[in-house]
Amino acid sequence: MQTETAAREAPVRRPKISFVEVQKLYPGKGGQADGTLALDSFNFDLAPAEIVSIVGPTGCGKSTALNILAGFETPSSGTVSVDGQVVTSPGSNRGVVFQQPSLFPWLSVLANVVLGVKCRGDPPKEYEPRAMRLLEEVGLKGFERHYPYQLSGGMQQRVQIARALINEPDIMLMDEPFGALDYQTRLLMQKLLLRLWAHFRPTILFITHDVGEAIFISDRVIAMTKRPGRVKREVHVHAPKPRDYEFLGSPEFTRLEHDLILAVQSEVEGDEVVAAH
């Protein structure tokens, strides 16, 4: 009775996203026997409006985890839930941004951004002003009528982000979105992402190979083991957001960067890397 009262008084904050005992086996030519076990016992939660990055060795299952959450892949066992509902298909509550811009070359920037809502049958007078505001917000005011080939890689990623945000999703899934950009543009995009987060407050799952990028933008960084991927290490980043470049030289940043580089490199090279320190 006492426990019930306590539970009523202090409600547990439900996670926004939960990975529970997720396993993913991609079948091989001979079926499961020669398949690839990409994820095994993969567990973790994201809180509402939290920004979590995943780092880990190449091929450890990062994209697989994101694709299951996006609804593009199904787990072999275990579950991925959003707001307590098991994910079984893609949905407009999850905006996805990939490394390679996947814009339609024959459509203008504006037409690319609104394509999804237009196909849904929403009236243009409702979504066009929203798209124009979004394009301004991602720094593309004046480029609405341009075509993708007229834009730099960074600008194309800005269009992708605007396109993902047009549905006002409460979750953003980003798979190495800045991986193909030069260092300076990447820094700009990281700050842009933090600005957009402050405005829209989505929950963000962000995959990157760049440990510094992960720390700069995240509340929490997960380092995965080599395949089959599991959570190996988890660090919290306490610096308040929005962050500026001063954070890159701070003791907290340097300590977390060292910690995460060792966690990932020990998976890539074996445990002797850690022993040597």
Ligand X SMILES: Nc1ncnc2c1ncn2[C@@H]1O[C@H](COP(=O)(O)OP(=O)(O)OP(=O)(O)O)[C@@H](O)[C@H]1O
Report the first-to-last Cα separation within the chain, whole angstroms: 53
Q: Which does 212 bind (CB under 5 to 8 A by kind): Mg ion, ligand X, none?
A: none
Which residue from 40, 42, 51, 61 is in contact with ligand X, where contact means CB under 6 A? Answer: 61
By CB under 6 A, the residues from 135 to 174 that bind ligand X are: none
We find the least distance from the C-beta atom of residue 208 to ligand X, in angstroms, to be 9
Cβ closer to Mg ion: 108 or 160? 160
Instruction: Using CB under 6 A, count the residues that bind ligand X.
Output: 12
Token pair of 105 as six digits: 């070359």
Cis, bond preceding 228 (omega within 30 deg of 0): yes
As given in the structure block, the two tokens for residue 211 are 């440990």
- Pick between residue 62 and residue 163 the one whose CB is nearest to ligand X: 62
Assess 260 for contact with ligand X (CB under 6 A). Answer: no
Q: Does 31 bind ligand X (CB under 6 A)?
A: no
Under rule CB under 6 A, residue 38 binds ligand X: yes
Q: What is the DSSP string of 214-262?
A: HHHH-SEEEEEPSSSB-EEEEEE--SPSS--GGGGGSHHHHHHHHHHHH
Determine if 63 is a binding residue for Mg ion (CB under 5 A): yes
What does the alpha-carbon distance between residue 208 and residue 55 come to, in Å, rounded to a whole number? 6
Indicate whether 100 belongs to the interface with ligand X (CB under 6 A): no
Query: DSSP labels for 123-184?
Result: -HHHHHHHHHHHHHHTT-TT-TT--GGGS-HHHHHHHHHHHHHTT--SEEEEESTTTTS-HH
Which partner from the list Mg ion, ligand X, none does 60 bind, CB cut-off 5 to 8 Å by kind?
A: ligand X
Of 56-64, 116-124, 164-172, 236-244, which part binds Mg ion (CB under 5 A)?
56-64
Distance CA 109, CA 156 (A): 9
Near ligand X by CB under 6 A: residue from 17, 60, 109, 174: 60
Which residues in this chain contact ligand X in the complex, by CB under 6 A? 26, 36, 38, 56, 58-64, 227
- Residues in contact with Mg ion by the rule CB under 5 A: 63
